[in-house]
Amino acid sequence: MKAKQLIAAAAGTAMALTLAACGGSGAGETTDDATNTAGGDSGETFRVGVAMPTQTSERWIADGDAVKSQLEELGYEVDLQFGNDDIPTQSQQIDQMITNGADLLIVAAIDGTALAGQLQTAADNGIATIAYDRLIRDSENVDFYVTFDNYQVGVQQATSLLVGLGLLNEDGSEGDATGPFNIELFAGSPDDNNAGFFFNGAMSVLQPLIDDGTLVVTSGQTDFDTVAILRWQQETAQKRMEDLLTSTYSSGAKVQGVLSPYDGLSRGIITALQNAGYSGTTADGFPIVTGQDAEIASVKLIADGVQFSTIFKDTRKLATQAVTAAEEILAGGEPTANDTETYDNGVKVVPSYLLESDIVYASNIQSLLVDSGYWTAEEVASGVAE
């Protein structure tokens, strides 16, 4: 641990407030109530740099807010930054956090392979790094990883596709449908370590049904590199779906299902389908489109019967897990892992804490999302976060 901003216990509160009132050391948001100390009775106020990838997706805004507020409740100072989906911007933000005296970093990377330099500088300064949701690769300086069981997320995405097609029922029992069904596959950003986990999990379910002819990937495009969407961009997914509809489905064949790994992509895919004349709801034949993140615009589409499913990953729980790990590290201990095998970042297996996710269908929006307070009934009805 690097030398901290030592604040004498007696003067700590006043001084921290003064520092905060002065805007701390510059960039980023800082707390205005950094009164507590951590790490026992040393009187030090810990400062945590939180780097999130983008504000174009509401989940990262929610993640950032949840991590920040939970850290602040514990009395830490927080420097929260969003990287605008731009790799140099995020690198600079992390450099700045280190310069500004961070004691610990929590990072959701834009490009999981691009931060080894920053993490080396952090480590040289005794600053620990927690990878948040996305693994940071090719660095020995990733101390801990908090995420969901990403392979299982992919399994759930594929399972919900089969439910939508009628091959399975929501309770997992066999459905009445037999196929064959025309489907297309999409994967996430190739520089995001999660994307491969989602795709591999999904294909573990779909491949046997592709092999036995129940599912037909009409375009023939099944390998990850071909179906991946750089930076998870909605427009790129819309364009790829438009191209597929033109190249593969212009002579009468209809697409019946689309594996989509993220709600933003799902909405791009749905727009492409609607522009090509697919209409109505899944009950009357609109293609089954999956998703992830329970973004409010997609939850409304699910309630309306247009998007079929999404995966709910409770960002509040992930934030809590990151904050717990931060506390454990800053107290000089080892964070509690529940997986020490799965996440090899190319240099080492990073000890991880994996959370569970749930499939959202129209039938359980109320119980999973509204009753838990994630979205209000009004937000689901309007499709807009308040």
- Cβ of residue 64: shortest distance to ligand GAL, in angstroms? 13
- Cβ of residue 114: shortest distance to ligand GAL, in angstroms? 14
Q: How many CB atoms lie within 10 A of CB 96?
A: 18
Site residues for ligand GAL, window 305-334 (CB under 6 A)?
Answer: 313
Beta strands in 231-371 (DSSP E): 257-259, 288-289, 310-312, 352-355, 358-360
- Cβ of residue 304: shortest distance to ligand GAL, in angstroms? 22
Triad 368, 68, 194: Cα angle to 5°? 60
- Cβ of residue 195: shortest distance to ligand GAL, in angstroms? 7
| 3-state SS, residue 20 | helix
Rounded to whole angstroms, how far apart are CA atoms 75 and 39? 11
Residue nearer to ligand GAL on the CB measure, 63 or 72: 63
Residue nearer to ligand GAL on the CB measure, 75 or 188: 188
Residue nearer to ligand GAL on the CB measure, 188 or 351: 188
Residue nearer to ligand GAL on the CB measure, 19 or 325: 325
What strand order describes the sheet that includes 128-132? 77-82, 47-52, 104-107, 128-132, 144-148, 352-355
Residue nearer to ligand GAL on the CB measure, 35 or 84: 84
Triad 101, 13, 45: Cα angle to 5°? 30
What b/e readout covers 12-40, taking b as 16+ CB neighbours within 10 angstroms? bbebbeebbeeebbebbebbeebbbbbbe
- Cβ of residue 350: shortest distance to ligand GAL, in angstroms? 15
Beta bridge partners of 47: 77
Rounded to whole angstroms, how far apart are CA atoms 169 and 150? 23
Residue nearer to ligand GAL on the CB measure, 46 or 262: 262
Residue nearer to ligand GAL on the CB measure, 143 or 192: 192
Q: Are 86 and 110 in contact (CB under 8 A)?
A: yes
- Cβ of residue 277: shortest distance to ligand GAL, in angstroms? 29
Chain Cα centroid distance, residue 383: 20
Q: Are 28 and 82 in contact (CB under 8 A)?
A: no
- Cβ of residue 70: shortest distance to ligand GAL, in angstroms? 19
- Cβ of residue 299: shortest distance to ligand GAL, in angstroms? 14
Beta strands in the chain (DSSP E): 47-52, 77-82, 104-107, 128-132, 144-148, 181-185, 215-217, 257-259, 288-289, 310-312, 352-355, 358-360
Q: Which of 293, 319, 335, 351 binds ligand GAL (CB under 6 A)?
A: 293
Site string for ligand GAL, 212-241 (x = CB under 6 A): --------------------x---------
Q: Which two tokens stand for residue 334?
A: 């080892």
Site string for ligand GAL, 158-197 (x = CB under 6 A): ------------------------------x---x-x---
- 57 binding ligand GAL? (CB under 6 A): yes
Site residues for ligand GAL, window 61-120 (CB under 6 A)?
Answer: none
Rounded to whole angstroms, how far apart are CA atoms 309 and 157? 8
- Cβ of residue 208: shortest distance to ligand GAL, in angstroms? 25
Site residues for ligand GAL, window 118-147 (CB under 6 A)?
Answer: 133-134
Residue nearer to ligand GAL on the CB measure, 60 or 76: 60
Site residues for ligand GAL, window 243-282 (CB under 6 A)?
Answer: 262
Q: Which of 4, 47, 59, 240 binds ligand GAL (CB under 6 A)?
A: 59
Q: Which residues contact ligand GAL by CB under 6 A?
A: 57, 59, 133-134, 188, 192, 194, 232, 262, 292-293, 313
